[in-house]
Amino acid sequence: MNEYVVEMKGIVKHFGQVQAVKKGEFTLKKGEIHSLIGENGAGKSTMMKLLYGMYPIDEGEITVKGEVMGSITPKTAIEHGVGMVHQEFMLVNELTVLENIILGFEPKKGLTIDFARARSEVETYINQYHMEVQLDKRVSQISVGEAQRVEIIKTLMRGADIIILDEPTAVLTPQEAKRLFEILNRLRQDGKSLVFISHKLNEVMEISDRISVMRQGTYMGTVLKDETSPLDLTKRMIGREVFLNIEKDYSQAGETILEVKDVWIPSQKETSKIRGMSLSVREGEIVGIAGIDGNGQSELVEAITGLRRVEKGSVILNGKDITNLNPKKARESGLAHIPEDRNTRGLNRAMTIEENLVAVRLDQPPFTKGMLINKPGQDAYAAEMVEQFDIRPTDYNLPTSSLSGGNAQKVVVAREVSMNRKLLVASQPTRGVDIGAIELIRNTLEKAKKQGAGVLLVSAELEEIISLSDRIIVIHEGKITGEMMASEANENNLGLLMMGGEEGKEGEKAV
Ligand SMILES: Nc1ncnc2c1ncn2[C@@H]1O[C@H](COP(=O)(O)OP(=O)(O)OP(=O)(O)O)[C@@H](O)[C@H]1O
Ligand SMILES: [Mg+2]
């Protein structure tokens, strides 16, 4: 018998003018975790969507468990045991977890849904793979990590033994990623075959048996985990080394640009309520907010940028009180914002790259000429941004909905950074982007700082906080538990403060 449960050969896929996959190859063995890596837009998601039958292939052949598949649809893919957990989740917020899991193939008792049977089936998986999920909560009330476990259970309930996970850790905290890996390891032990897509090479090195690389739509080869290294993988992906450690210069921090004074911010979640927080950001300085996701960092950012109401306290930008101004007014007072969720807040997916790039300042030259729109001015600007931020494909008339995840992120970063505002609030600025783009975005933030902007950085990646920030503020359950210069910070002392800083508190008592 063939050793592969999946074989994809000579795959070609176009979207209009864009050749997403030029020469795609992929094989998957039973009981392995096979990582698929490559730059943003390399064709990873497309390859896996073809396997899952979301689009037809133009050329090539896909074999699943020895059977050559004709045209695949998600329905026939599922019948052959192929399941997919997408980059963007597809759960219905208003339904409960259990309702979501059985949606579309509810077990019936006569004419009614047999919830008891559904529940006991789901519970079998929950126990077998130790997946913590709360079946009666609404999806809108659960964390991303939990939503992801729900997606995995959904594939299992439909009989999947080949499971594709497209950047499952991009939205997870390091703690949640660790839990996910425990689940993936149990699935592997149980003989399931997994495809894992990620930009995080340390994760890829931790979880994979084999690793395949794609570059610009073309298969670049497969290596065994034990025979490679992050450096080797980087070179295979982009053909050069990458330098993520930026040269920091903290000599030019100037006047205070942002002042948050004893703010109280409500939140639905108890741990995310901000309870009296004060901090400041100066010109020419990057201040990093470290904390476990869900401890108030999103609420803080939303309050500063006008997306959430402040109950008490004030936000002062450049000497002006901007507390509870609406987002547009807050922006006009001198801030730019890279939001954590590019799809709901960062981009209008139906609009083109160019329209998204100029959206927030359509009323300014060179985008207008007198009362009229200056189309050549807009085109020139879009072309410059596409070039400078390496947005691919380079055709700025394409809708952003057709961009790969990382390239969509680059559009948001390009627009916000190029506004040259006094304050840049950057939430998870490198989420989902490839290692080359991480380098680019980090250098961009450092450059904005050198030009005098104050940057407030929120990131789930401690490594990013440490290497980019000048000063680090740690928060836990809506309160500041510590502050230090980045030069004094490491994963241990930050980690401790992120857990509430018990040791720090005891230390204070002792004094
Ligand atoms: N539905 C679509 N319509 C048009 N173009 C598309 C579509 N889906 C993907 N593309 C294009 O195909 C190319 C490959 O995209 P894909 O999403 O497979 O990349 P990726 O390797 O998953 O990247 P990322 O790491 O950023 O997620 C990109 O240039 C993308 O813009
Ligand atoms: Mg992708």
Binding site membership of 436 for ligand 1 (Cβ less than 6 Å) = no
Residues 41 and 182 in one domain: yes
Residue of the nearest CA to atom 4 in ligand 1? 402
Instruction: Using the mean position of ligand 1's atoms as its centre, give its distance from the Cα of residue 392 in Å.
Output: 9
The CA distance from 233 to 415, in Å, is 30
> What is the arithmetic mean of pLDDT over 224-246?
86
Residues 420 and 276 in one domain: yes
Binding site membership of 406 for ligand 1 (Cβ less than 6 Å) = yes
Residue 189 has pLDDT above 80, yes or no: yes
Mean pLDDT of the chain: 90
Residues 305 and 339 in one domain: yes
**Helical segments of 239-338, H only:** 297-304, 327-332
In which band, very low, low, confident or very high, does the pLDDT at 506 lie, cut at 50, 70 and 90?
Answer: very low
Nearest-5° Cα angle at 470, 435 to 250: 110
DSSP run (H or E) holding 277: strand 274-282
Instruction: Using the mean position of ligand 1's atoms as its centre, give its distance from the Cα of residue 44 in Å.
Output: 8
Please report whether residue 280 resides in a domain: yes
Binding site membership of 395 for ligand 1 (Cβ less than 6 Å) = no
Binding site membership of 404 for ligand 1 (Cβ less than 6 Å) = yes
Residues 209 and 317 in one domain: no
Please report whether residue 83 resides in a domain: yes
Residues 430 and 359 in one domain: yes
Q: What is the pTM of this model?
A: 0.81
Q: So what's the pLDDT on residue 1?
A: 56
Please report whether residue 172 resides in a domain: yes
Q: One-letter amino acid identity for 196?
A: F
Query: Which domain CATH number covers 75?
Result: 3.40.50.300
Binding site membership of 126 for ligand 1 (Cβ less than 6 Å) = no
Please report whether residue 243 resides in a domain: no
Q: So what's the pLDDT on residue 430?
A: 92
Please tell me the total number of residues recorded for the chain in this structure. 511
Residues of the domain holding 231: 4-238
Choose one of 402, 411, 435 to mutate for the ligand 1 pocket test, by most ligand atoms within 8 angstroms of C-beta.
402
Closest CA relative to residue 145, chosen from 207, 84, 208, 89: 89
In which band, very low, low, confident or very high, does the pLDDT at 508 lie, cut at 50, 70 and 90?
Answer: very low
Residue of the nearest CA to atom 29 in ligand 1? 41
> What is the arithmetic mean of pLDDT over 14-22?
93
Residues 171 and 108 in one domain: yes
Which ligand approaches the C-alpha of residue 40 most closely? Answer: 1
Of residues 274 and 173, more confidence is placed in 274
Residue 6 has pLDDT above 60, yes or no: yes
Residue of the nearest CA to atom 16 in ligand 1? 43
Residues 192 and 262 in one domain: no
Residues 232 and 299 in one domain: no
Which ligand approaches the C-alpha of residue 408 most closely? Answer: 1
The CA distance from 240 to 213, in Å, is 14
Please report whether residue 250 resides in a domain: no
Pick the last residue of a domain from 191, 212, 238. Answer: 238
Q: Please state the domain count of the chain.
A: 2
Residue of the nearest CA to atom 5 in ligand 1? 402
Pick the last residue of a domain from 192, 209, 238. Answer: 238
> What percentage of residues in the chain have a pLDDT greater than 70?
96
The CA distance from 33 to 210, in Å, is 7
Residue of the nearest CA to atom 31 in ligand 1? 403
Q: How far is residue 197 from each of residues 38, 201, 208, 235, measured CA to CA in Å? A: 9, 10, 10, 18
Q: How far is residue 440 from each of residues 230, 243, 424, 430, 437, measured CA to CA in Å? A: 18, 10, 16, 10, 5
- Reported as a single tens digit per residue, the pLDDT across 281-331 is 999 999 999 998 889 999 999 999 999 999 999 999 999 999 999 999 999
Pick the last residue of a domain from 183, 203, 238. Answer: 238
Please report whether residue 251 resides in a domain: no
> What is the arithmetic mean of pLDDT over 332-361?
88
